Amino acid sequence: MPEILTIILLGIVEGVTEFLPVSSTGHLILAGELLGYDENQWKVFNVVIQLGAILAVVVLYWRTFLAVLTGLVRRDPGSWRFLRNVAVAFLPSAVIGLLLHDHIEALLGNARVVAVALVVGGIAILLIERKVPQGTERGVADISLGKAVAVGFIQCLSMVPGVSRSGATILGGLSLGIERRTAAEFSFFLAIPTMMGATTLELAKNHDHLGVSAGAIGLGLVVSFLVALVVIKWFIGIVSRRGFAPFGWYRIVAGSLALVWLLAR
């Protein structure tokens, strides 16, 4: 397959899946299996293009970030609680990610782990949607410190490929009594320091052998950014009307098909 087509396809996969509870890393790993490309060549690319999707959050929620920044200057308690919650939720993954980086990278080459995690995560979504009552905490600043810390530790489950960072944080938030839309938006905001940290670590360790050109990475960033702009708006609309069950069923079907295919090869 021509390199430019691979770049565009991976950018689309990243943009579509980064903020949905379906695992962007897992889908990129499965895409690699389907496309048959050299995993080591595209490993850094797959991490760095996540910044394109992150930029989409900044663009779509610029008013929120501006309000928080001006609130911090004015010493507004709500703005400081917003910053506190994002910061404390980020810390567990930062520390554990650094400590277990080599072990995590070893898992990234295992497509069967991804397939199983997709199915298990899908079942978890359906159970939580059915059993957990609608949350009452609305707005990231209204989340208690204890719940923010708990969401941060739950996010660490996504270090297993296929679990989904957004899925873990959103479902964790729902289980803790956070309202659907707020849980989704908290996941979006938490993605910014988390993905920036992961990208920085990956570039620091592999800056001498990126695998692809800077131009290829730039194109992947642009594609993931444009796709994520559309997907985030669509996702919030779906969640507000229908909840997360459709994504649970998708994970079960996609993971089952992937596992059958991988075992039959």
Give the model confidence (pLDDT) of 220-256 as tens digits: 999 999 999 999 988 888 877 778 889 999 999 999 9
Residue 51 CB burial class (10 angstroms; 0-12, 13-18, ≥19): buried
Res. 127: pLDDT tops 80: yes
For the question of whether the overall pTM of this predicted structure is more than 0.95, the answer is: no
Residues in the chain: 265
Task: Examine the pLDDT at 172 and tell me if it is beyond 80.
Answer: yes
- What share of the chain has pLDDT > 70, as a percent? 93
Decide which of 138 and 73 is more confident.
Answer: 73
Q: How far apart are CA 209 and CA 207, in angstroms?
A: 6
**Mean pLDDT value of segment 138-157:** 93
**97-106, 150-159, 181-190: least confident range:** 97-106
Q: What is the DSSP string of 25-63?
A: HHHHHHHHHHHT--HHHHHHHHHHTHHHHHHHHHHHTHH
Question: Residues 23, 161: contact at Cβ < 8 Å?
Answer: yes
